[in-house]
Structure 1
């Protein structure tokens, strides 16, 4: 499982930020939220599961987790989830720090993501 931090860059729109900065964005008070999204089977009722073709995520700090496709019942094909300009990968937790709403597109009707604003 990977952690990737996405932050808006004025020139390149999105850049991947080094993993070392995760602790700067996720502090002690967020750790409970982090555990919830990683244990999405147990805490699914406290998370949003997005399975629509296009969703606007609010601005601020967000956690977005794409479960392994096999756990969503998908055996073949692309993950087919994109966040504006960035393709997202399965079994990855994205920490998104941004001051503007983001568009999430899911083109595989079976694919979905767990999401929480913190």
Structure 2
């Protein structure tokens, strides 16, 4: 699994932030939520699983996890999950800090995203 931290940038819209900055965003209060999303198979009731084609995520600090394709029943092709200006990769946990709502698009009906708002 990969971690990717995304932060809005005025010029490039979204930029990947160095992983060292994860600790600046995820403090001790958030460790429980991070553990839940990483162990989503045992904590599904505490997470939101989004399958809708278009969803507006509220502003703030968010965790998004794209499960591996085979766990979603997808055998070939892309997950077709995008977050406004950037495509999202499978088996990747995204930590997103942004003060604007974000539009999540899912174009493959089998694809989905585990989601949690932290603050």
Aligned length: 118
Offset at residue 73 of structure 1 (A):
1.1
CA RMSD, 1 decimal: 0.5
Offset at residue 115 of structure 1 (A):
0.2
Partner SS state of residue 110, structure 2: coil
Q: Which runs of 5+ in 1 are unaligned?
A: none
Cα deviations across residues 61-87 of structure 1 (Å, max 9, x unaligned)? 000000001011111111100000011
Cα deviations across residues 9-32 of structure 1 (Å, max 9, x unaligned)? 011110000111011101111100
Partner of 2:79: 79
Partner of 2:112: 112
Partner of 1:51: 51
Partner of 2:8: 8
Offset at residue 93 of structure 1 (A):
0.3
Partner of 1:103: 103
Runs of 4+ residues deviating >6 angstroms? none
Partner of 1:62: 62
Measure the CA separation in 2 of the matches of 1:73 and 1:87. 20
Q: Which runs of 5+ in 2 are unaligned?
A: none
Offset at residue 3 of structure 1 (A):
0.6
Partner SS state of residue 43, structure 2: helix
